[in-house]
Amino acid sequence: MPNQATGKYSYGICDYCGQRYRHLDLRKNWKGFMVCPDDYEPKEPQIEPLNFRGDAIAISDPRPDRTEPVVVFVGTPADSAFQSIGTADGGTNMQPFPLQKAVEGVGEIGTVTLTGVVANTFIVTVATGTNSYGTGNKFYLGGVVSPTVELIEGLTYKFDQSDGTNGTHPLRFSTTPNGTWNGGSEYTTGVSTNGVPGNAGAYTQITVASSAPTLYYYCSAHSGMGGQANTP
């Protein structure tokens, strides 16, 4: 096959401007046209297609699924460690008081399965006040005098009597208002006590039985100090 001529004596027409140029001076641009030096332009880099990498098919250093222990505090948005409950002061004025609720459980990422006991602690103190039984020393729960509380079946509630004002005032339960001071008897189903009221670690605790009746908390040593505990 013969070699092509160098074209040093040849001429050509620029495809853009239409002017006559030596063939050796014409160049093919990125669009395939033969153009003169004045009309030649390289292909702009932004016209080039982007080089995309495919998505990764696996993460590095994966960890196996496992069960994690969790502790969840439920309550009002303002304070997640407390829940405000509407309570009756003397049976007339509704007031809130803090009820600490700690929910212990075990769960997985995205799902929480409760497996533990839900413990609700009422902080009990004793001071002079007025309730439906009159004026005198009264049980205060979270700073509210003898409130009506809601006890949910199956849950455990602790009435913490470690504050020194509880001395000589054991808190007990009855199905009769004012308990033994009104001819009733002490209710003991699911109830346990610990320590001496007024000392560290003292409390009365109740796990509410299924279909439990309406209860009343009272002082076993003094009349008229307690209030009502609904068991809806």
Structure tokens belonging to residue 13: 């027409």
| Model confidence, pTM | 0.54
Domain residue limits, the chain: 11-45, 68-230
CB 139 within 8 A of CB 82: no
- CA distances, 77 to each of 73, 83, 127, 216 (Å): 11, 9, 30, 30
Alpha carbons within 13 angstroms on the beta-carbon side of residue 224 total 12
Class assignment of domain 68-230? mainly beta
* CA–CA dist 224, 203 (Å, integer): 20
Nearest alpha carbon to residue 14 among 30, 27, 5: 27
Q: Each residue's pLDDT tens digit in the chain (232 positions)?
A: 556 566 677 888 888 888 888 888 888 888 888 888 888 888 877 777 666 666 666 666 777 776 655 544 444 334 434 433 333 333 333 333 444 444 444 444 455 544 444 458 999 999 999 999 999 999 999 999 999 999 988 899 999 999 999 999 999 999 999 999 999 999 999 999 999 999 999 999 999 999 999 999 999 999 999 999 999 7
